[in-house]
Amino acid sequence: MKRVLILIFLLLSIIGIYLLFQNDEEKVKIGFVGALTGKYSVLGNAMINGVFLAFEEENYKIANKKIEIILKDDKQDESLNKKIINEFIKQDVKIVIGNVTSSMSKISMSIINKHKDMFMISAASDSNEFSGKDDQFFRVHVANNAQRFDSFTNYILENGYKNVYGIYDPFNATYTLDYLVNFEKSFILNGGDKFLKYAKTNDNPEKLIKDIKEKNPDIIVMCANSVDAARVIQYIRLKGLDIQFALAEWARTPSFLENTGKTSEGTIFNIDYDEESTNPRYLDFVKRYKKKYNQNPSMYAAKAYELSKIIIDSLKRGKVSDMKKNVLEKRTFEGLQDNIIFDEYGDVIREFYNFRVKDGKYLKVK
């Protein structure tokens, strides 16, 4: 009898261990790393909303594998970001969504690129520094190459703006300074002149105003988050300067309009996202997003949803450790408003539109 009990115990132990390993094998861990607190959190939290909506549609199960989303706040801190990525590696996370800023994505990639079975994809990091590299980093946001700005710079030149003053956020310079540099290249190629100055959002406000008055620009091109962009515009308007503004898509959020009020009237944006799109996929997404979150989706929520659908599609077609291969085998995916086509380096080309702020709304212009 005692021998029978021992055999039963051993059998149950073996079954328990087998089931434990089976459960591990049947789970796919996806890490999200980005700003969930602080001034960049408006982007990070919107992205999470898009990610959750996409995976909820699959009931967090793909090809008989359970999906676990692990959220981490990088707090825009390099050391913390490195720690998070190394924790993901220890936890056997093969797919990483992130980061919110190009500066943090650069940190993440420095580690992830050493692991060929990992895959990182971003909804926001668009520094041209990442372009044309055979690595583990993909994105659904267009890179800041000079050609990407052609429709923007041509529009500005056609409207008579020639003397440009640039302002960028120094705390995400991998993206923001890169944005101004490539904007300027496009501006010059299309018949414009070199920028009058590259200033920073954290420059002394009085010195900034004095410098702008001395250089007397036609237009200020600024690449900054919605909070800093709103602050700079409000201060310049407060000092009585009625200068045209052109802003990077990073600032184009609902909160920007709320924070600036009438001071942002006439501000120009150039972006690969149109809230008035009539694509049925997009309209269905907006309907479901509003039902779940009781608000309209931002561009970053939409793009996070799109990259999540790409992950889902690729997981259905291949192994977790082959995500890069799975994506490149298909290349073309349905986006919410247009097709998303990856090149061999994981970069995309998408159509851009010009917008102006009018009566507190983003209105599309030709």
Per DSSP, the residues of 281-334 read HHHHHHHHHHHHHSSPPPHHHHHHHHHHHHHHHHHHHS-GGGHHHHHHHH-EEE
Instruction: Tell me: pLDDT of 23 over 70.
Output: no
Q: What is the mean pLDDT of the chain?
A: 92
Tokens of 202: 């954290």
Q: How far apart are CA 120 and CA 30, in angstroms?
A: 10
Question: Do 304 and 123 form a contact (C-beta atoms < 8 A)?
Answer: yes
What radius of gyration do the chain's Cα atoms show? Answer: 23
Which H or E run contains 73?
Answer: strand 65-73
Residue 256 identity (one-letter amino acid): F
> Could you report the per-residue pLDDT of 123-149, keeping only the tens digit for each?
999 899 999 999 999 999 898 887 789
First to last CA, the chain: 87
> Could you report the per-residue pLDDT of 325-350, keeping only the tens digit for each?
999 999 999 999 999 999 999 999 88
How confident is the model at residue 146, as a pLDDT? 75
Q: Picking from 55-69, 141-155, 297-311, which range would have the lowest pLDDT averaged per residue? A: 141-155
Instruction: Tell me: pLDDT of 14 over 80.
Output: no
Q: Looking at the DSSP assignment, which residues form a beta bridge with residue 70?
A: 31
pLDDT band at 15 (very low <50, low <70, confident <90, very high): low
Q: How far apart are CA 328 and CA 261, in angstroms?
A: 44
Sequence-distant contacts of 184-191: CB under 8 A, at least 24 apart: 185/146, 185/149, 186/146, 186/147, 186/148, 186/149, 186/150, 186/152, 186/153, 187/149, 187/153, 187/156, 187/157, 189/146, 189/153, 190/150, 190/153, 190/154, 190/157, 191/157
* CATH fit for domain 146-271, picks 3.40.50.2300, 3.40.50.720, 1.25.40.10, 3.30.60.50: 3.40.50.2300
How confident is the model at residue 4, as a pLDDT? 52
**Domain covering 12-142+278-341: architecture:** 3-Layer(aba) Sandwich (3.40)
Tokens of 226: 């919605």
Q: How far apart are CA 209 and CA 175, in angstroms?
A: 24
Instruction: Tell me: pLDDT of 21 over 60.
Output: no
* pTM, rounded to two decimals: 0.86
Q: How far apart are CA 138 and CA 361, in angstroms?
A: 32
> Could you report the per-residue pLDDT of 156-215, keeping only the tens digit for each?
999 999 999 999 999 999 999 999 999 999 999 999 999 999 999 999 999 999 999 999
Task: Locate the domains of the chain by residue range.
Answer: 12-142+278-341, 146-271
